[in-house]
Structure 1
């Protein structure tokens, strides 16, 4: 099929090259000319495992990028909308980019096209805002002249390419024209469960999925905080026992995928969980059905960085004039995305309490803390930890498994505050873990 993807961010770019890998001819549209040029040259503008290889294989062949949305839509039978939906101050989502994209697509729309919203939007957005905008811009009849549908993404940054190529499910919703087009788009995804429903339900499946994951993280952190207050309770051991529940274990050896979210830590971040929990909570308030559990989920998550700073302050007997090294700026390993990373509130609170802060991340550069006075970025892990009074581990980068060996070589052993519980307590001289 000939497919247009509007938006060349994490979702749009991975979707585009993923569909090209499955045999489709894809053109990706973006307003950033420099980004388009890089993509056409086979250079990925984001860090994502496997993306460089896919681009190198398909750029200029089955996959191209352009700034011309009119030509892209005209040459395609299916158009995916993959633009951002950032949070407003009240937590609701800003759909202005989706509406603007729909207006541009609508102006170039022709009978037989199907427009599919892959952006994360609250239930009703595709049926109402997007359909109305497309209809007004095109003068065509939805459901008769053109199809409208929703096809939410379930991509985890750092493994998004693998998630797209080998999904655990494909969710499609919309009118008959859109559903028919989407079944054809995913025809080669053999053996993958296909959930076919209406657009509102498809949109809700995305939010329900992320709300579940967000709830799991904050639920475990509440247990961690309670266990720490009681004393003598190690939440890592508690959850190790919980993980053995048959509801969480797979038939194959090892843990079920859900288990990784039931771990004590310094909180979730990224572009999905914080925004989607806020959006769903705001939606509940708007319709008079407040989601109190999700309000609590967000509140617990917002408090977790403070818990980590409190541990450092307590163990050191104060932070004024102390040197604290923060390891990890990305919200999770294998990505350069720093959106809503717990590292930044930790850094701010450490600075507010008078600490001198050094930061390190394997892929995130000094620009991430350029506007943070009193914060030094180090490109070498050994240099970052040398002379530190405390080392705070934020991101589960594989590189940080080398930390015990590096610290063993130092004369003065710093306190290690493990915000992700990835190190063995006995592996370092002075250890404190969140929820322990």
Structure 2
């Protein structure tokens, strides 16, 4: 059976990664984006952002002719059978969701459908608050196209669960697929597409309503954020208890099948383009329908305060940070990405500058994106060893593999004052504390006997 042709509106992490993966398995894909420079790079086989495994997939898909990008929305819709909306959904000033790009994409798709006779499936993959698919996307497409949803075109909500740094792997091997269908024909068409894509490796499919699909995505991210904030709260308790270690506590409670080990890694807090934005959007939406969200409030509060714990540990050893040289290792919100969106490193560096510290930073992938935020207010090292050279304190903020290889002796040799703060728990405290003035999130050394 011939595989469906697919278009994507929005070629960010979700749109481009999903497009390249589909194209690699024989789907003809057209990607639309308003950014002409991005479209040019994609058509040259170059990913406009760093994502492991994407460059090769994209290059091969473009060369084979299975994927191309365009700045013409009409071309994308008229030459495909299924259109995924994968535009961004940023936050408004009050934290509520900003749907302007979803609304714009819906209108453009509707205008294109006005010129199409064949039935077409529209799939909302962007993260949107409950009721958006049926109360915003559907009427906008109907108005622009002059058609009726459920008769002339299909509609479904299909949330994504991709993680930056492993988005390609997550696309090929997801835990489940959620299809929020407007009608059975729409759900059947989308399920058929995924059956063609996954073949015998089809993951579990949950077919439900659009509003459930929308809420599943928000509930998923809110729970993950809450889990991280919870273990960070426990880490802060451990910090005050002689001999306590949050990694031991987390490992033990993670063995409980009701809890599980994932997202129980204490650190400087969660970041990235999704968790913070999504839980604030859920909070504001909930308030709009008269529901309070005390767990979300606590989750946000703990996360906001967490980077300050690292500052406190630095001051414990150095006193005033004014004039002190602080080396920050890691700027992206997680390893294997160049994304610094809402990264804990941003909050840390801002606080260090406010305290009068001289800040020097290094990250193997995210330097350029960090420069856009801080400019010449901080220094940028060409590598990790240059970053810690002459520093009074070094802080681990992202668990890049190359940082794990820096020995205690290297820190001792290169730093002016060998104070090391492990914000990501990548070093064994019993080893590093023998050589350095060492601190780690959620760790308090046992009393010397």
Report if TM-score (shorter chain) is over 0.5.
yes
Say if 1:146 and 1:177, in contact at 8 Å, map to a contact too.
no
Q: How many residue pairs get matched?
A: 427
Per-residue Cα deviation, 1:325-357 (whole angstroms, up to 9, x for no partner): 011110000000100000011001011111100
After superposition, the Cα gap between the structure-2 partners of 1:346 and 1:372, relative to the gap in structure 1 and judged at 3 Å, is: farther
What does 1:335-414 correspond to in 2, within 5 Å?
Answer: 335-366=337-368, 368-369=370-371, 371-404=374-407, 406-410=410-414, 412=416, 414=418
Supply the distance in 2 between the matched residues of 1:191 and 1:86 (Cα, whole angstroms).
32
**Residues 273-321 of structure 1: CA deviation (Å, up to 9, x unaligned):** 1011101111111111111101110111011111111111122122111
SS at match of 1:172: strand
Match of 2:282 among 263, 280, 287: 280
Superposition pairs of residues 36-435 of structure 1, within 5 angstroms: 36-60=39-63, 61-109=65-113, 110=116, 111-175=118-182, 176-188=184-196, 189=198, 190-248=201-259, 259-366=261-368, 368-369=370-371, 371-404=374-407, 406-410=410-414, 412=416, 414-428=418-432, 429-435=436-442
Question: 2:214, 2:14 → 1: CA distance?
Answer: 16
Per-residue CA shift, 1:147-178, capped at 9, x if unaligned? 11111101010010010011111111122232
Deviation at 1:358, TM superposition (A): 0.3
Is structure 2 residue 21 aligned with structure 1 residue 13?
A: no
Do the aligned residues in 1 keep the contact of 2:194 with 2:202 (CA within 8 Å)?
A: no
Identify if the C-alpha distance between structure 1 residues 39 and 335 changes in structure 2 by more than 3 Å, giving closer, same or farther. same
Q: Are the counterparts in 2 of residues 404 and 427 from structure 1 also a CA contact under 8 Å?
A: no
RMSD: 1.5
**1:13-58 deviation line (CA, Å, top 9, x unaligned):** 0010111123211100011111111111111111001101111211
Deviations 1:381-403 (A, max 9, x none): 11100111100111111111122
Partner Cα separation in structure 2 for residue 271 and residue 264 of structure 1:
19
How far 1:187 sits from its partner (Å)? 1.0
Offset of residue 128 of structure 1: 0.7
Structure 2 runs not aligned, ≥5 long: 444-449
In the alignment, the residues of structure 2 paired with residue 367 and residue 346 of structure 1 have an alpha-carbon distance, to the nearest angstrom, of 16
Structure 1 runs, 4 residues or longer, greater than 6 Å off:
none
> Shift of the alpha carbon at 1:144?
1.1
Contact 1:114 1:177 in 2 (8 A): no
